[in-house]
Amino acid sequence: MTGYDRVRPCSTPAPVSPIFHTQALPPTPCMAKSPVPELAVLGGTPAFAQSLHVGRPNLGDRERLFARFNEMLDRRWLSNNGPFVQEFERRISESLGVKHAICVCNATIGLEIAIRAADLSGEVIVPAYTFVATAHALQWQEITPVFADMDPATHNLDPTLIERHITPRTTAILGTHVWGRPCAVAALQEIATRRGLKLMFDAAHAFGCSLGGRSVGGFGLAEVFSFHATKFLNSFEGGAITTNDDALAQRIRLMTNFGFAGFDKVIHIGTNGKMNEACAAMGLTCLEGINEVVAVNRRNHAAYKTSLAGVPGISLIAYDEAEQNNYQYIVIEVDESVVGLHRDELVRVLHAENVLARKYFWPGVHRMEPYCSLFPHAHLLLPETERVAGQVIVLPTGTAVSEVDVARICGLIRSALDQAPAVRARLVAAASS
Ligand code: T4K
């Protein structure tokens, strides 16, 4: 078995492990409601008594976690390249089939370190459709992020639009594998090689995902994963930088620990990017359970697909079944001209029902500070980012979300669409009162 196989989802949804509560969730209070409840924005009771979040953490096996915490406390080794961090790094590199995995305290610091270790400078081409951390990690060290537009079919950087942004100051392309669906790596690599640029990836969403049968983690010069609480694999807070480049890995290790190369010996500029042992214990525990998480996420994605099939104007983003996917994000696009409601109106409907859907990554990083002040005209070259960012809704999934929840959420969406004029009128009235 290769490391790649470890994170491969089964061809059919696997039975759900008892450590995850998805299928055994106690009925939510809303289950007692009538089959066609009145929408909360129209005066009904919210469909969910408790908020349903996007990004509810997957927890793994508590007994294993507590055993590791006890081991850690008994050992009195809490940070600074402890045994759990070393084991987590080993397991990550085995799983992904990559030579080096360096754990860090979060992906933002990981990006900053990787960017600096790879000597990026001047201008770096990035997507505008990403979490703000991708750009901040550059701007934080006075490297200019230059925003390029997306391919609307993938939500990732459109390789055909990269070269127009290359100037004599450009040193790299930094792509994001948005929703865990890998970038067009080969096309980006071809441009980078031909134009003498470095290529790196923000792989925050993409643990357990593959492209052409190769796990994300070994593409470009380096890739950076997030293990934030909301991510597919979580270590409370955390991340990992992966690379097959020995010299780069060594620099990254030094920079993550103040540049120390031994007691009292600092040989490099550095920061404190270390992962602590409690986070590594959580990461190891969650890593042991990722096949179950994939199975639940995959099942939920299939349930959304079935329930939203044929709803005009609503499209659910698909995952390539020939690849490994973590199915961590349920993403729909709302076409107002068909649906009769704007995305924001549908989000308000869902929030009123306690479904805390998110508008990731609205309004696009180029419209956030400091970028909108620095580059007030950036949007002119970002038409697809502007359009898609205004249409996307991310819906709840993960081990805290059951198929019954999914069916109810989709029922709410259908119901809102069926009553679009009344919903819109009520929202307009509420806004003006
Ligand atoms: N690159 C990309 C492409 C990223 O998406 C991210 C992070 C990064 C880089 C940086 O990685 P890190 O430095 O964080 O490792 C959330 C996450 O905080 C952030 O990690 C993530 N991307 C982003 C997409 O989502 P917010 O501002 O939406 O977080 P917040 O507090 O609104 O929480 C999201 C939802 O999760 C809420 O509905 C509540 C729920 N939640 C959250 C936490 C922390 C829980 O139910 N339990 C929890 O413990 O950014």
Q: How would you write the pLDDT of the chain (433 residues) with one tens digit per residue?
A: 333 233 332 232 333 332 222 333 333 343 434 456 799 999 999 999 999 999 999 999 999 999 999 999 999 999 999 999 999 999 999 999 999 999 999 999 999 999 999 999 999 999 999 999 999 999 999 999 999 999 999 999 999 999 999 999 999 999 999 999 999 999 999 999 999 999 999 999 999 999 999 999 999 999 999 999 999 999 999 999 999 999 999 999 999 999 999 999 999 999 999 999 999 999 999 999 999 999 999 999 999 999 999 999 999 999 999 999 999 999 999 999 999 999 999 999 999 999 999 999 999 999 999 999 999 999 999 999 999 999 999 999 999 999 999 999 999 999 999 999 999 999 999 888 8
* Residue nearest (by alpha carbon) to ligand 1 atom 16: 230
* Residue nearest (by alpha carbon) to ligand 1 atom 22: 131
All CATH 3.40.640.10 domain ranges in the chain, comma separated: 62-288
Please confirm whether the linkage preceding 361 is cis (ω < 30° from 0): yes
Residue with structure tokens 């089939």?
97
Site residues for ligand 1, CB cut-off 6 Å: 53-57, 106-108, 130-131, 133-134, 176, 202, 204-205, 226, 228-230, 239, 356, 360
Q: How far apart are CA 349 and CA 355, in angstroms?
A: 9
Q: How far apart are CA 317 and CA 305, in angstroms?
A: 9
All CATH 3.90.1150.10 domain ranges in the chain, comma separated: 290-357+396-432
Taking CA 190 as the corner, what is the angle to CA 188 and CA 191, rounded to the nearest 5 degrees? 65
What CATH architecture applies to the domain 62-288?
A: 3-Layer(aba) Sandwich (3.40)
Cα 237 to ligand 1 centroid, rounded to whole Å = 10
Q: How far apart are CA 110 and CA 290, in angstroms?
A: 22
Q: How far apart are CA 303 and CA 277, in angstroms?
A: 37
Cα 230 to ligand 1 centroid, rounded to whole Å = 5
Residue with structure tokens 């923000």?
202
Cα 307 to ligand 1 centroid, rounded to whole Å = 27
Total-model pTM: 0.91
CA-closest candidate to residue 208, choices 232, 192, 185: 232
Closest ligand 1 atom to Cα of 228: 15
Cα 350 to ligand 1 centroid, rounded to whole Å = 20
Q: How far apart are CA 371 and CA 369, in angstroms?
A: 5
- Domain 290-357+396-432, CATH: 3.90.1150.10
* Residue nearest (by alpha carbon) to ligand 1 atom 35: 55
Residue with structure tokens 């996420």?
297
- Across 203-265, where does the E strand assignment appear? 210-211, 214-215, 222-226, 239-243
CA-closest candidate to residue 109, choices 284, 1, 258: 258
